[in-house]
Amino acid sequence: MQSIILYHTLGCHLCEDAEVVLSPFREAGAIDVTLVDIADDDALVDLYGIRIPVIRKADVSTEEGELGWPFDHDKVSEFLNF
């Protein structure tokens, strides 16, 4: 199982769409998703404010470990190497 972080904020309809895209992976037990609301951290707002939703592999701290919106099932599958 891969751990990923979904950067989001409340009221973001694209973030809700991203959760729907990730849902089949979660249900299959392929990923564990940690939701991080960027509104709680000014540094995250600076990094992701205009880019959310963004998913990041929890074990990768570089931009190469990130996938920004828009993404669909196929892009997520490729990103996660499934």
Query: What CATH number corresponds to the domain at position 10?
Result: 3.40.30.10
Predicted local confidence at residue 41, as pLDDT: 97
How many structural domains compose the chain?
1
Phi, psi of 8 (to 5 degrees): -155, -175
Provide the residue range defining the domain that includes 29: 2-79
The pLDDT tens digits of the residues spanning 42-62 come to: 999 999 999 999 999 999 988
The pLDDT tens digits of the residues spanning 16-39 come to: 999 999 999 999 999 999 999 999
In whole angstroms, give the CA distance from residue 73 to residue 46: 27
Cis peptide before 24 (omega within 30 of 0): no
- State the average pLDDT over residues 51-79: 95
